[in-house]
Amino acid sequence: MKKYFIFFIIIPFLLAGCSSNNPAIIASDDYGWVLIWEDNFNSENYDMWEKANHTFAKNLARFNPENAIIDDGILRLKLTGEPQASRDYSGAEYRSRENYSFGRYETRMKVAKGDGIITAFFTYEDDQNGLNEIDVEFRGNNTNEIHFNNWTSIKDENSEIIKLNFDASEAFHDYIIEWQPGHIKWYVDGEMLYETKKDIPQGDQRVIMNIWISDDKSKTGLLNEDELPTEAKFDYVKFYTK
């Protein structure tokens, strides 16, 4: 199937003529969401995305730009046993250059399986305005569970763990974050699984996808190096506003 990247410039008077059959508009609850951009990963879009080269305190891997690869319409984020700078392992992170605000963030992904391994799709920014983060996260030691998290600079993590009726490492599934000023909703394969109205981030954020190794063995299990290399796969990312 042919895939493509689209950026929509919305002219207000055109919206009055849009219908539910217009592919740039979809329905979600009582809202009409307008597709602003999508990337189907046919090729590298250097103006939109960058490959990270950093790490953080709880990450046993360091992100290596060479581990983020676009291949046959799929973004592949690899995790390997190759040392990278100060870390013994190499992960991958793909993130938007621009920050975005309230809207609907959607991806189709297949996560990595294995103790200690984290696959995530999320929005994030930590700048002069403080920390803001909204997560869809999987721990590789139990890919039948999904973690929905949200953070602000003045509050600890709010987290919800939900059991799925499938193994997210075996096939691609659709994941959505709907972020509005007063609430966040998370969807899996079109079904809303969780909503929160607590501690909603207000600052603009980047869109990020990554794979890494957690140092918290009590929650994620102890890494088995025999399971490396592994990878998480992303089919597309879309962003809507209303």
Residues marked as catalytic: 133, 137
Query: Is residue 141 within 8 Å of residue 114, measured between CB atoms?
Result: yes
Per DSSP, which regions of the chain are E strands?
6-7, 25-28, 31-39, 49-51, 61-63, 68-71, 74-79, 89-96, 103-110, 117-127, 130-139, 145-152, 155-163, 173-180, 183-188, 191-196, 206-213, 230-241
Query: Is residue 112 within 8 Å of residue 169, measured between CB atoms?
Result: yes
